[in-house]
Amino acid sequence: MRKLAFFAAVAATLCTVACNKDLSGSKAEVPVPSDDGRVEVTLTVTGGPMTKSADQDIDDNLSVVHNIQFFAFNEDESIDTYVKVTDGMSGSMRVKAGQKKFWAVVNADDITNVQTLDQLKAIKTQLADNADGFVMVGSYNSNVGTNPIPIEVKRLATRVVLKKVTAAFTSPAEAALDCILKRVYLINVAGDFNLGYTDDPTVWYSKMAYESPTGLDELLNTTLTPGHNLKNAAYEVPSYHYCYQNHKQPDTQSTTWSPRFTRIVAEVELGGTTYYYPVNLQYIDYGKSYEIENLTITRKGSTSPDQPITIQDGTFEITVKDWTVVPVTSGITI
């Protein structure tokens, strides 16, 4: 249960926003170029960097901002300047006057040798980079006369939540058996994603089966010790899991590995035999939360965690939400 104590889920959108200074009318202060033709601009993260969502499913640990890397690019997308903030929520940089493309990258490893915006967008982050705090990125195009510079950032990660597991076997013989929920976990997990949100994954974890990769167990897996007997009561402790975007289409259940749908799996021991209840997560996007309100199992499941359940095995509904908890509704029943 260590993971459940660690996870609750996460934050809404992080914003670098304007200070309380009144920027309207004649009170706005436009930066004046110095002798070297540069002006100083300020980028600030104000208030709590994460605001709680309506359903309070916030993971305070992963919402911590450990560092922010700010970039300023010229109109031709060549680098102008860069600053990294590791203490506090604001940073200043001196930039050449004119139109700029400002970017902010939160909680990523140090980014060096970037000369163009395309080079920054191409940088890959690893899923493990989110273990101590979500990697986030955002941009804002502005003339340097705007000060402070607001940059809205978004998480690169995808969240998957299973809120409840219920046993409702149609067979009296199966209903009489102990049904121990042992684990809930993700398989076929995309492990890398570029800052420009465009590239397909090149790294995969938990291919077709449960794994506990170094540094990723807390993100991918929930283990119940000693397990929960669904025969006695439904399991109603939500489990939270995190992965990267996966747009792979179509799916496959080939026993030879190739990229395929990410799945969330409930693993149970029914009468001493292990069965799996995998649920397909089709075309999952970064920054969204895929939430299963209740997985109801009605018969023996699959003998493989990579073989999705059918209508005879169980029922469930998936709701898709932005982490700002603006619902993007998508109901599925099988």
Domain-terminating residue out of 155, 187, 212: 155
Rounded to whole angstroms, the Cα distance separating 290 from 158 reads 8
CA angle 302, 203, 158 (to 5 degrees): 70
Does 29 fall in a domain?
yes
Helix (H, G, I), strand (E, B) or coil at 225: strand
Residue 220 carries which side chain, given as an amino acid letter? L
Q: Give the CATH number for residue 130.
A: 2.60.40
Q: Hey, what are 46's tokens?
A: 């104000």
pLDDT of residue 314: 60
Split the chain (334 residues) into runs of 10 and give each run's mean pLDDT.
38 36 37 65 54 45 84 96 84 89 93 96 96 90 79 89 93 97 98 95 98 95 96 96 95 95 97 95 90 91 89 64 40 26
Beta bridge partners of 328: 320
Is residue 126 located within the same domain as residue 172? no
151 and 163 share a domain?
Answer: no
> Of the candidates 317, 262, 271, 263, which has an alpha carbon nearest to the alpha carbon of residue 294?
317
Phi, psi of 4 (to 5 degrees): -65, -35
Listing DSSP states for 257-319 in one string gives -----EEEEEEEEETTEEEEEEEEE-SB-TTEEEEES-EEE-S--BSSTTS---TTTEE--EE
Task: Please tell me the predicted confidence (pLDDT) of residue 233.
Answer: 98
Are 131 and 76 within one domain?
yes
Residue 252, domain extent: 157-328
Tell me if 263 is assigned to some domain.
yes
- Do 51 and 151 have their domain in common? yes
Q: What pLDDT, on a 0 to 100 scale, did the predictor assign at position 138? A: 87
* C-alpha dist (Å) from residue 56 to 9, 53, 140, 151: 9, 5, 29, 24
The answer to the question of residue 75 being in a domain is yes
Quick one: 151 and 185 in the same domain? Answer: no
- Within this chain, do residues 140 and 166 fall inside the same structural domain, yes or no? no
DSSP, collapsed to helix, strand or coil, labels residue 5 as helix
Do 122 and 214 belong to one domain?
Answer: no
Q: Residue 162 in contact with residue 237, Cβ under 8 Å?
A: no
Q: Specify whether 136 is located in the same domain as 164.
A: no
| Measured distance CA(180)–CA(230) in Å, rounded | 6
Q: How many other CB atoms are there within 10 angstroms of residue 80's CB atom?
A: 19
Of the residues 155, 170, 194, the one at which a domain ends:
155
Cα 31 → chain centroid: 37
Q: Are residues 287 and 237 in the same domain?
A: yes
Domain count, the chain: 2
Q: Is residue 84 part of a domain?
A: yes
In this structure, are residues 60 and 5 in contact, taking their beta carbons and an 8 Å threshold? no
Q: Given CA atoms 323, 326, 327, 328 in this order, what sign does their dihedral have?
A: negative
Shared domain check, 262 and 250: yes
In the block, tokens 């030879």 appear at 256
Asked if the structure places residue 162 within a domain, the reply is yes
Flag whether 220 is in a domain: yes
Rounded to 5 degrees, φ, ψ at 321 are -130, 145
CA nearest to 64, candidates 83, 48, 47: 48
Structure tokens, 89: 């929520």
Beta strand 288-292 with 157-162 is parallel
CATH of the domain at 248: 2.60.40.3690
The pLDDT score that the predictor gives to residue 129 is: 95
Amino acid type, 197: Y
* Bridge partner list, 265: 185, 278
In a domain, 333, yes or no: no
Q: Are residues 147 and 45 in the same domain?
A: yes
- Per-residue confidence (pLDDT) for residue 43, from 0 to 100: 75
Is-contact 276 300, C-beta < 8 A? no
Contacts for 26 with CB less than 8 Å, ≥ 6 apart: none
Contact of 280 with 251, CB cutoff 8 Å: yes
Same domain as 166, residue 145 = no
H or E stretch including 38? strand 38-44
Domain end position, chosen among 155, 190, 224:
155
Is residue 334 in a domain? no
Residues 6+ apart with CB under 8 A from 232: none
